[in-house]
């Protein structure tokens, strides 16, 4: 049988080891931190879906010459809503020589465009379009095709438009030959 003394020693031993175990169970380390950064880049792009080459088989003097089919363009953006708008701009690098046939030229003022099937055609005679630290176009050879307001709900969106083009030679005549030029399209945030 166990004596009172043996039970007392066992109890003291148990109490001593239990205290050590409790002290170790509440121990905490220092706090280490991890800095996490993630950046999503803004995106703005345009794609020509069809009509990237416009050809007119018979250019006539003193009339409005309209191309048979439009240029189908999709503008896509994923931007910060602090931008107030997305603007699609068309421009010719050299307004006095938008289309060339050797040393004969058709100026950008005679080339007109519009989005959609209604409304007036407008010439490529505008100013450079400025958006923040960037700009698009050439003075005297630019046309803003649309300006889409940006809100929190459409900061990531797209739109598809048909750009109709014509060469307005009303009151004008040009030398016979093949005229070629490049219309530049670019989007900018403002």
Q: What is residue 106's predicted lDDT score, i.e. its pLDDT?
A: 98
Q: Which pLDDT value is given to residue 26?
A: 87
Q: Give the bridge partners for 9, in sequence order.
A: none
Q: What is the pLDDT of residue 12?
A: 57
pLDDT in tens, the chain (190 residues): 556 666 666 655 555 555 555 556 889 999 999 999 999 999 999 999 999 999 999 999 999 999 999 999 999 999 987 899 999 999 999 999 999 999 999 999 999 999 999 999 999 999 999 998 899 999 999 999 999 999 989 999 999 999 999 999 999 999 999 999 999 999 999 9
Domain that holds residue 161: 43-189
- Residue 33 belongs to some domain of the structure: no
Task: Evaluate whether residue 163 is within a structural domain.
Answer: yes
Q: Two tokens at 72?
A: 């189908």
Judging by DSSP bridges, how do beta strands 64-66 and 156-168 pair with one another? antiparallel
Task: Specify if 38 maps to a domain.
Answer: no
3-state SS, one letter per residue, for the chain: CCCHHHHHHHHHHHHHHHHHHHHHHCCCCCCCCCCCCCCCCCEEEEEEEECCCCCCCCCCCCCEEECCCCEEEEEEEECCCCCCEEEEEEECCCHHHCEEECCEEECHHHEEEEECCCCCCEECCECCEEECCEEECCCCCEEEEEEEECCCCCCEEEEEEEEEEEEECCCCCCCCCCCECCCEEEEEEC
In a domain, 17, yes or no: no
Q: What's the number of domains the chain is made of?
A: 1
The reported pLDDT for the residue numbered 74 is 98
Closest CA to 169 of 161, 179, 160, 159: 179
Q: For 65-74, what is each residue's pLDDT tens digit?
A: 999 999 999 9
86 located within any domain: yes
Alpha-carbon distance of 148 to 157, in angstroms, equals: 10
Q: Distance between CA atoms of 124 and 183, rounded to whole angstroms?
A: 10
- Would you say the C-alpha torsion 24, 26, 30, 32 has a positive or negative sign? positive
Pairwise CA distance, residues 187 & 190, whole Å: 10
- Is 27 inside any structural domain? no
pTM listed for this prediction: 0.82
Query: Is residue 31 in some structural domain?
Result: no
**For 77-120, what is each residue's pLDDT tens digit?**
999 878 999 999 999 999 999 999 999 999 999 999 999 999 99
What are the angstrom distances between the C-alpha of 140 and each of 17, 43, 143, 173?
91, 28, 9, 21
């Amino acid at each position: 049988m166990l004596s009172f003394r043996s039970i007392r020693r066992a109890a003291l031993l148990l109490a001593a080891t239990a205290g050590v175990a409790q002290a170790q169970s509440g121990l905490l380390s220092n706090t280490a931190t991890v800095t996490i950064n993630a950046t999503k880049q803004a995106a703005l792009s345009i794609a020509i879906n069809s009509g990237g080459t416009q050809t007119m088989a018979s250019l006539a003097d003193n009339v409005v010459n309209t191309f048979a089919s439009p240029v189908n363009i999709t503008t896509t953006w994923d931007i910060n809503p602090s931008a107030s708008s997305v603007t699609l701009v068309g421009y010719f690098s050299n307004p006095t020589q938008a289309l060339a046939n050797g040393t004969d030229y058709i100026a950008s003022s005679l080339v007109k465009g519009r989005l959609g099937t209604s409304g007036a055609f407008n010439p490529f005679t505008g100013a450079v379009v400025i958006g923040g630290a960037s700009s698009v176009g050439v003075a005297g050879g630019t046309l803003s095709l649309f300006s889409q307001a940006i809100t929190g709900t459409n900061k990531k969106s797209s739109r598809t438009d048909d750009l109709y083009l014509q060469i307005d030679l009303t009151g004008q005549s040009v030398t016979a030959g093949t005229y070629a030029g490049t219309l530049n399209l670019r989007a900018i945030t403002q």
